[in-house]
């Protein structure tokens, strides 16, 4: 299954751990923004206009290519994952949220909501894959 996994860049280790577990279960990550952050740890503010546009387009394409967009609801503030969720909803994609999804009204638009990331991962690796 093709999955776009998103969350807060300030919670990079958490996102990477679930990315790695998805890959180990045989899923394809449609765009690995986490790898880019590890390779080039520059804040969005300090990027050139061209780089900002390219990163945004890469993320958008990753969402659009995914069977599932999974949002690890950030404990920290984050804008990007909510934009990516909006893109997924706009193209009619399957959106899964996990964590404190009551934090934002837009999480109620997700197809599936889980209170823990572990339960979302279990659903993706068993139920969603079987469908």
What tens digit of pLDDT does each residue of 24-76 get? Answer: 999 999 999 999 888 876 777 788 899 889 989 999 999 999 999 999 999 88
10 pLDDT exceeds 70? yes
What is the count of structural domains for the chain?
1
Cα–Cα distance list, 127 to 1, 36, 119 (Å): 12, 30, 11
Angle between helices 49-64 and 80-90 (to 10 degrees): 40
pTM comes to 0.92
Q: Which domain holds residue 68?
A: 2-130
Residue written as token pair 């999974």 = 70
CATH number at residue 103: 3.40.50.1220
> DSSP states of 35-66 as a string?
HHHHH----GGGS-HHHHHHHHHHHHHHHHT-
Contact by Cβ (8 Å): 92, 86: no
pLDDT at 47: 84
Residue written as token pair 């990315």 = 19
Burial of 57 (0-12, 13-18, 19+ CB in 10 A): exposed
The mean pLDDT of 98-115, rounded to a whole number, is 93
């Amino acid at each position: 299954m093709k999955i776009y996994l998103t969350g807060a860049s300030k919670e990079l280790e958490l996102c990477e751990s679930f990315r790695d577990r998805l890959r180990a279960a045989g899923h394809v990550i449609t765009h690995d923004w986490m790898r880019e952050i590890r390779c080039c740890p520059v804040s969005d503010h300090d990027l050139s206009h061209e780089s900002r546009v390219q990163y945004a387009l890469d993320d958008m394409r990753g969402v659009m290519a995914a069977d599932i967009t999974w949002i690890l609801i950030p404990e920290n503030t984050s804008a990007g994952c909510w934009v990516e969720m909006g893109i997924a909803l706009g193209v009619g994609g399957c959106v899964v949220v996990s964590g404190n999804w009551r934090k934002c009204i837009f999480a109620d638009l997700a197809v599936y909501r889980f209170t823990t990331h572990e339960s979302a991962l279990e659903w993706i690796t068993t139920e969603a894959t079987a469908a």
